[in-house]
Amino acid sequence: MRMFLISDNVDTQTGMRLAGVDGVVVHTEEELKNALDAAIADTRNDILLLTEKFGKDYTELVNGVKARTLRPLIIDIPDRHGTGRSPNFITDYVNQSIGLKL
């Protein structure tokens, strides 16, 4: 199983490289689109890691790719600044998904 990282900063890429994960650093929406297209086209990639900043800054692009792509599995990861999620993220997600308050 091969993972590939698309990051918005060099620190996250360096840390993932130390763990054996290849990747690229991009800064603009056009660079992100090109990197996503290349990573998806590479059939060796089973998991595609994106730093959370992309999901916030380029929501339409990222969600569109996630909706139409079955492989690789696309996962948002926190970057060096930590997660942007609320402390009750999982509980809120479950509540929203099933429509019941836990």
Statement: residue 88 has pLDDT above 70: no
Instruction: Please tell me the total count of domains within the chain.
Output: 1
Residue 91 lies in a domain: no
Q: Which residue has the tokens 């650093």?
A: 25
Torsion-angle region of 82 (φ positive above 0: left; ψ -120 to 50: alpha; else: beta): left
Mean pLDDT of 16-20: 91
Whether residue 32 is predicted with pLDDT greater than 70 in this model: the reply is yes
Q: Answer whether residue 75 is part of any domain.
A: yes
| pLDDT of res. 55 | 85
Residue 101 maps to a domain: no
pLDDT at 40: 95
7 within domain boundaries: yes
Residues near 73 by beta carbon (within 8 Å), at least 6 away in sequence:
46, 47, 48
Q: In the block, which residue shows the tokens 């996630």?
A: 66
DSSP of 46-71, one letter per residue? EEEEEEHHHHHHTHHHHHHHHHH--S
**Bridge partners (DSSP) listed for residue 30:** none
pLDDT of 98 > 80? The answer is no
Per the domain annotation, does 89 fall within a domain? no
pTM: 0.78
| Residues 59 and 65: beta-carbon distance below 8 Å | no
The confidence score (pLDDT) of residue 30 equals: 96
What is the domain extent for residue 11? 2-82
